[in-house]
Chains A and B, each alone.
Chain A
Amino acid sequence: MAITEMFFWWYSRGWQVFISKARTSLTSITDFFSMSSLVRTLFKPYRQISAETASSSASLDLKFHMFLDRLVSRFIGFLSRLILLLAGTLIIIVGGIASLILIILWPIIPMLPIIGIILSIVGLAI
């Protein structure tokens, strides 16, 4: 019977498959939001704008201006990366928690019809 096999699979390989699928989707989210790249380059100037450094012979005033420009560029870069990192982290956390709940509840899911019948008999109302 297909149903018996489905239940058997659910409690054996099915659980592993779900865990691996959850892991793959979390990895895809990490890749989509470029998490590792963003962390590695968190303080790098945004798109290398004003990234040049002044030569040693440049005037102090020029050096200071370039330093300020670079600082602004780094700040913009930091901000944009941070926003993306936060968005990515949020989605990963939500997805992770949802996956974790499902992994924990996995053995209970096939019992939901019975639980539903019991709740109906008990007459639990919302």
Chain B
Amino acid sequence: MNSSFDPKNPRVKKAYQKRSLNNPPVLALTLVIFIALLFGGIALLYFQIALGWTLIGFSALPAMLVFWIKNDLNEIPIGKSSSFTNLLSEDLLLLLSPNTTPADLIKILPKTRGGSFIMARFGLPISFFQQAQEFLPATTDPIYATAQDILNSTNSEEITGAILAVALVQNLPNAELVLNQIKLTTADLHQGIIWFNYLTGLVKDAKKPVRSGGIGRDFAFGYTPTLQRFAINLSERYANSHIQLQMADHTKIIGQIVETFTHGGRQNVALVGAYGSGRSTIVNSLAETLMDANSKIPNSLKYRQIFALDAPSLISAAKDNSELEYLMINIFNEIYSAKNIILCLDNAHLFFEEGPGSVDIANLLVPILEAGRIRMILIMDDQKFLEISAKNPALANSLNKIVVTPSGREETLKILMDQVPFFEYQKNVIYTYQSLSEAYRLSEQYIHDVEMPGKAKLLLESAAVYAENGLVTAESVATAVEKSYGVKVKVASDTKDREKLLNLEQLIHERMIDQTEAVSAVANALRRAGAGVKHSGRPIGTFLFLGPTGVGKTELAKTLSEVYFNGEDNIIRLDMNEFVSASDVSRLIKDGAEDGLSLTAQVSKQPFSVILLDEIEKAHPSVLTTLLQVLDEGILRDEKNREISFRDSIIIATSNAGANEIREKITSGAKIDDFKEELIENLISSGEFKPEFLNRFDEICLFKPLSKEDLVGVLDLIIASTNKTLEPQKISVVVDPAAKQILIDKGYDPKMGARPMRRIVQKTVENIVAAAILSGHATPGSTLHITPSEIEIS
């Protein structure tokens, strides 16, 4: 295979001819000469001057020239042999020369459509190539050879600027490593080439004439005035243009529908699948196929038009059920008489159940479906199909069910590549390839009510708002998720966030004393999440805090919420002693519309939060069993069977179980690590917790009782909190060290932890401050010094 540029190749010559001839001024001039010669000749002949024949004869030359330019030079097909020059795209034929160096190639790339496509879509600016320049080979030969390999591996027709750009990158030493640094792989770049080829193909296809039946197409088909009032003609938009779209695996389903409608029997199809799985796209694509004269379908289906019935307008137009039935019968009669209509019932369940915006006309529809005289497509989701099947087996049996499954990654990316030009046109932005793959990844993780590819499309659309300089990047998609779902998905990138994560223990200890094991366990979990190394299919962290009362278990959860989860309000707290019977499971998963305080409702509203399950040992075993899936997979289904994600939450369960044992061991001088395993074994053997429940936690943290020394710190924190409360009044409190000691002596209770201390401060310090304020001794700007005697008196 020849891997060098041949300037003598006829295609090169042709490309230059095209550039000089196929342009408006030359074409206009040629046309003017043609007209002048032709009409000049005719005029001369009119005046009996024989020279007119010469002029008319010569007028053939400009006419031939235009025909040649428009038919031979308009497109320069690839050459027959597989030499490098024979495979080059037109724009490259004009830009390359035998002396082109890799450095020249870098300058050439932005001038080609393919090169600029790859640069824009993958965020590879010219500076990236310029920096890489010194590492490139000395000559272009290896780059051209790589380009030919890429041509074959991507099934491309010609070597475009896109292929050359990728070939340049691939010729860098450690290319894969370089690409990985910008979160790309060679395979991604090859996908980019396929994307470019596809879009180029779309542009070419758009220039082809559309054949959709002509002016007499509907002569043999009847009028449908009522149907047109209540339905949308999906086929109409395909009568004059081809819009649709790469369908990947959906082509198979379209084949199945065509098969069903071609043979006898029940002429209906029920497309059953989740919202977003592409059911409507299939119907639209079928509409286009049926309207295309070139499609390979039986004549009995050619030019059949699909009408989507608008259920709400139909229901609102009818005063009662009898009028609705009358309208429906009218519509069915029209469809039957017209002979060219396929009726599509989107959200078909609306016709099989009573309720607001829906009506049960199954009795009317079932005989029609069974008779098979009207072609129908029903779209419904799997759950509704199950409900309808249970309620009306005859209806379910009369349907030809086709399951529409959600698309996989490759297929979704293809569909997104297909849709992106429409979004770009509507939103006036450009999407990078990374934004597409990020939309797939994040929508898979965060959008649960819609299926692929619908959810990735939704996310891409909303990401347009966060485009920077008109470019929708992976960052824009992540921002869209963060803003829409209130979660943190980006790897901590700004210094403030990184600092916060790195110093989390310090920040937590500003609010609580000791318990270093639990604090660092929680901080590590958050750091893993912040660095993007956490398992995406689980919550950020799941912890069980064990220990006596008043040692800071709940306080740690609150502190965490304050420090990292945007304030103490972002804590979802459930007192598990309110979930002591099996029937309480329903309160956990109640629909948000009925109970906004159920666990699923609160998490769906606020997924990025700390979930505190206080006194978990008091919950009923059924409640604990329900929570197993949350701890394991970060998912809980509510009573409406909607998946609620807990994957952006940190789950903390607290328990006093084993408190006495912990206290005894610590008092006897043992360290937590020495008896932790034994304590857990005891909790299992005593039946307080089941092993499968304890196993679900990332970590079980033991909280030790607070010593008198610890209480000094606790007291300082409580006084600091009192000062914070007094801040608006500009009054501050200072407690003398001796007074502090009295407070500690009074407030120390090893069984109750820090709680008595708070009560003591309330009864003494806060009472003294209140009296001083009311008596006018404490004025704004003053500092109250509390002495031991005051404490004793109070």
Contacts and interface: CB of A to CB of B under 8 A. Distances in A.
Interface of A: 2, 5-6, 9-10, 13-14, 17-18, 21, 24, 27-28, 31-35, 37-38, 40-41, 44, 46-49, 51-52, 77, 80-81, 84, 109-110, 112-117, 119-126
Contacts of B60: 109-110, 112-113
B58 A116 contact: yes
Nearest to B338: A48
A38 B293 contact: no
20 contacts: A6-B72, A14-B68, A14-B71, A28-B209, A28-B211, A31-B211, A31-B212, A34-B213, A34-B216, A34-B217, A34-B219, A47-B220, A47-B223, A49-B222, A49-B223, A52-B337, A113-B54, A116-B55, A117-B54, A117-B57
B216 A44 contact: no
Interface residues of B, number: 44
A37 B48 contact: no
B206 interface: no
B2 interface: no
A31 B53 CA distance: 40
Interface string B207-234: 0010111111111111100000000000
Interface string B55-98: 11111110011011001100000000000000000000000000
A92 B172 CA distance: 60
Contacts of A81: 216, 219
Contacts of B214: 31-35, 37
B721 to A, nearest CB: 83
Contacts of B361: none
A35 B380 CA distance: 39
Nearest to A40: B299
Given A9-B72, A31-B293, A116-B53, A14 B17 contact: no
B386 interface: no
A119 B50 contact: yes
Contacts, number: 128
Contacts of B5: none
Given A9-B68, A47-B223, A49-B223, 10 more contacts: A28-B211, A31-B211, A33-B214, A34-B216, A48-B223, A51-B222, A112-B58, A117-B53, A119-B53, A125-B45
A51 B223 CA distance: 12
Main secondary structure of the interface of A (DSSP, over half): helix
Residue of A10, A28, A120 contacting most chain B CB atoms (<10 Å): A120
B215 A109 contact: no
Residue of A17, A49, A116 contacting most chain B CB atoms (<10 Å): A116
A48 B50 contact: no
B65 A6 contact: yes
Interface of B: 17, 21, 41, 45-46, 48, 50-61, 64-65, 67-68, 71-72, 209, 211-223, 293, 299, 303, 337-339
A37 B302 CA distance: 10
B68 A6 contact: yes
Residue of B54, B59, B209, B214 contacting most chain A CB atoms (<10 Å): B214
Nearest to A29: B214
Q: List the 7 closest A-B pairs by CB distance, nearest first.
A: A116-B57, A48-B222, A34-B216, A34-B214, A119-B53, A112-B60, A41-B220
A47 B50 contact: no
A27 B211 CA distance: 9
A38 B219 contact: yes
Given A6-B68, A47-B222, A112-B57, A84 B50 contact: no
A48 B220 contact: yes
B241 to A, nearest CB: 15
A110 B293 CA distance: 38
A31 B58 CA distance: 37
A26 to B, nearest CB: 12
Given A33-B214, A33-B216, A48 B337 contact: yes
A24 B210 CA distance: 12
A96 B478 CA distance: 61
A115 B337 contact: no
A37 B220 contact: yes
Contacts of B67: 14, 18
Contacts of B220: 37, 41, 44, 47-48, 77
A15 to B, nearest CB: 11
A54 B211 CA distance: 38
B298 to A, nearest CB: 13
Contacts of A52: 337
A29 B52 CA distance: 36
A112 B62 CA distance: 12
Nearest to B72: A9
A34 B215 contact: yes
A124 B56 CA distance: 13
Nearest to A41: B220
A10 to B, nearest CB: 6
A32 to B, nearest CB: 5
A24 B208 CA distance: 11
Contacts of B51: 120
A125 B59 CA distance: 19
B54 A2 contact: no
B56 A116 contact: yes
